[in-house]
Amino acid sequence: MKNIASWLTITLVSLVLCACAAVDAGSGGAGEMEIRSGKIEQITMTQMQTNHDSGVGAILGGLAGVGIGSLIGSGTGRDVAMVAGALAGAAGGNYAEKKKYDQPQQAQQIIVRTKSGVLVSVTQPVNAALSKGQSVYIEGTGNEARVVPQS
């Protein structure tokens, strides 16, 4: 009985620790970043899917499920209820988090002609300070790329 509770505790602590992300140059931390410059050729309104898979909903739901499961029965039945509660709570918490926070958000697809003549397309959240013909910087590459006005 205590062995199951110990393993459950270790598993939950492991999940919490694994949810912490390492910061590197590609995720906004210290490091080098490529910056290109150019002029905006076109701005098109669109939507982009958010990605809030932080796991917080699953962790909180799992903890709530363990708490509720611990109120049921005694002995082995209680342990089973705690595990079942943790699983059901984690699934429910993850579903609730996705339902609430994974909604498409307004975005803009910006096409920039760099000084070398290359066209670059970046989709990012709406930035009202950007307009067609404006001189801009393109910071980063890939999914991390952002268009920002030159000051």
- Given this model, what pLDDT does residue 77 score? 86
Task: Looking at the structure, tell me whether residues 58 and 6 fall in a common domain.
Answer: yes
The one-character DSSP state at 129 is T
- Given this model, what pLDDT does residue 133 score? 92
Residues β-bridged to residue 114: 38
Answer for the pair 19, 56: CB distance below 8 angstroms, yes or no: yes
Task: Looking at the structure, tell me whether residues 79 and 63 fall in a common domain.
Answer: yes
pLDDT tens, position by position, 93-138: 888 887 777 777 888 999 999 988 999 999 988 888 899 999 999 9
What is the arithmetic mean of pLDDT over 26-55? 75
Task: Looking at the structure, tell me whether residues 66 and 126 fall in a common domain.
Answer: no
pLDDT tens, position by position, 42-95: 999 988 876 666 778 888 888 898 888 888 888 888 888 989 999 999 998 888
- In whole angstroms, give the CA distance from residue 109 to residue 43: 6
pLDDT band at 140 (very low <50, low <70, confident <90, very high): confident
Answer for the pair 32, 106: CB distance below 8 angstroms, yes or no: no
Greater confidence (22 vs 51) lies with: 51
Provide the residue range defining the domain that includes 118. 33-49+104-151
- In whole angstroms, give the CA distance from residue 85 to residue 92: 10
Structurally, how many domains does the chain consist of? 2
Task: Looking at the structure, tell me whether residues 151 and 81 fall in a common domain.
Answer: no
Task: Looking at the structure, tell me whether residues 76 and 138 fall in a common domain.
Answer: no
Greater confidence (5 vs 133) lies with: 133
Task: Looking at the structure, tell me whether residues 136 and 97 fall in a common domain.
Answer: no
Task: Looking at the structure, tell me whether residues 74 and 140 fall in a common domain.
Answer: no
Give all strands of the β-sheet with 146-149 in edge-to-edge order.
119-125, 105-114, 35-48, 135-139, 146-149
Backbone angles phi, psi at 12, to 5 degrees: -65, -40
pLDDT band at 25 (very low <50, low <70, confident <90, very high): very low
Backbone angles phi, psi at 70, to 5 degrees: -70, -15
Strands (DSSP E) found in the chain: 35-48, 105-114, 119-125, 135-139, 146-149
Q: Is the pTM of this model over 0.75?
A: no
- Which residues neighbour 144 within 8 Å (Cβ) at sequence distance 6 or greater? 26, 27, 28
Task: Looking at the structure, tell me whether residues 7 and 59 fall in a common domain.
Answer: yes
